[in-house]
Amino acid sequence: MRNIQIVPLSKMEKMRRYFNEYLTELSEFDPDIKFDDNGKPIYNWFDCYWTDKDRFPLYLLVDNQIAGLALIRELGNMLYNFAEFYVCPEFRKDGNAMWFAGEITKLFDGQFDFATRFTNPRAIKFWSKFALQFENNSFYDDKIWRNWTIRKNSFKTHELNLAPIYFDLIRSGEKILEGRLNNEKKRAFNIGDTITFFKEPEKKETMQAIILDKYFFQDFEEMANTLDKKDLGFAKYTKEEMIDTYRTIYKRQDEEKYGIVVFKIKVL
C-alpha cells in the first residue's frame, strides 16, 4: 500500500537523515553539492520547508515504511517546482517513483517545473517518461540542465491578439498584467488557464502565458489608480495617457457595461 504524508516538524530530523543520503548519492552527478568538515552534505534551504508557507516536505510511504521524499516549492499562484525528489534504492521498483511523482501533481492544481543535469542519465530517462504522461508537456535545454514544464489537462487555452509593442513587452517580462473588457469571452478565462497571444498584424508570431491571477475593476480609471502602470506596459506614460489609450480601443459604453478584468500572467 502506497500513500503520501506531509512531514511534520517533529519528524524533520529523521527526514534530514534520508535527505543526506539522497544528496550524497546525487553528488556523483552534481558537482555543486558540497560537504562540511563532518562529511555531511550542505543544503541551506532544508529547514525552510517547515517555516515557509510556500514550501512542502513530503514522504512516500510503502506499507507504512519511508520509501522516498520530495521537497515541493510554490513559485507563484498555481506554479510549483519539484525542488528535490528521491526514492530509496530498495523501493525503486513496482513503479513507486512514477506513482509518487504523479500523486504529488494531484495535490496541487496548476503547472509543475522540474529539471535535472545531463550528467544524470537515469534521472533524464525517468523525468522524460514522467512528462510524457501529460498532454501539455514541454522541455528546453541549456548547457547543463534539461528543464521540463507540465500542466494538467483540466485547464483551458484561450487566444488573444496583441499589438506588437505590448507583445514584445510581455515576452521580455516587462509587462505582466493584461487588461481587457470583462465580456463573456474573458469571463471564461480562469486562473491556471493559458493564453496564446498572436502578434498583430500578421499573427504568425505567438507565445503562451499562464494566468496567475485575475483582478476586477469598474472602469479603466479605477484600474489605473490601483495597479502599477509599468506592470500594465505603460511605464513611460502618465495614468491619464494610459486611460486614453485603452479608451481609443474600447467604447465607453462597453467599458460601463462589462467592467474591466486584468490578468496577471507569466510567459511559459
How many CB atoms are closer than 10 A to CB 190?
12
- Residue of 126, 190, 129, 202 lying closest to 163 (CA atoms): 202
Q: Tens digit of pLDDT for each residue in 120-176?
A: 999 999 999 999 999 889 999 999 999 999 987 778 899 999 999 999 999 999 999
Contact present, 184 and 226 (Cβ < 8 Å): no
The correct answer on CATH 2.30.130.30 for the domain covering 157-267 is: yes
Percent of the chain with pLDDT over 90: 87
Q: Which long-range contacts (CB under 8 A, 24 or more apart) does 52-57 make?
A: 55/83, 56/6, 57/6, 57/7, 57/12, 57/15
Q: Which long-range contacts (CB under 8 A, 24 or more apart) does 88-95 make?
A: 88/18, 88/21, 91/60, 91/62, 91/65, 91/67
* Spatial separation of the C-alpha atoms in residues 131 and 262, rounded to whole Å: 31
The continuous run of DSSP H or E covering 204 comes out as none
* Spatial separation of the C-alpha atoms in residues 57 and 174, rounded to whole Å: 33
User: What pLDDT was estimated at residue 78?
Assistant: 82
User: What pLDDT was estimated at residue 110?
Assistant: 84
Give whole-number Cα distances, 196 to 4, 42, 165, 224, in Å: 35, 42, 16, 25
Contact present, 80 and 111 (Cβ < 8 Å): yes
- Strands 177-181 and 157-162, bridge-based pairing: unpaired
User: What pLDDT was estimated at residue 239?
Assistant: 95
Mean pLDDT of the chain: 94
Cell of 82: 519539484
Mean pLDDT of 166-192: 95
Q: Tens digit of pLDDT for each residue in 2-30?
A: 999 999 999 999 999 999 999 999 999 99
Mean pLDDT of 65-88: 94
Domain covering 2-108 in this structure, CATH number: 3.40.630.30
Q: Tens digit of pLDDT for each residue in 111-122?
A: 899 999 999 999
Q: Rounded to 5 degrees, what are φ and ψ at 239? A: -60, -40
Q: What is the pTM of this model?
A: 0.69
Largest CA distance in the chain: 71
Residue 255 pLDDT exceeds 80: yes
Give whole-number Cα distances, 6 to 3, 80, 245, in Å: 10, 16, 50
* Spatial separation of the C-alpha atoms in residues 74 and 194, rounded to whole Å: 18
Q: Tens digit of pLDDT for each residue in 232-248?
A: 999 999 999 999 999 99
Q: Domain locations in the chain?
A: 2-108, 157-267
User: What pLDDT was estimated at residue 251?
Assistant: 95
Contact present, 69 and 7 (Cβ < 8 Å): yes
For 114, left (φ over 0), alpha (ψ -120 to 50), or beta? Answer: beta
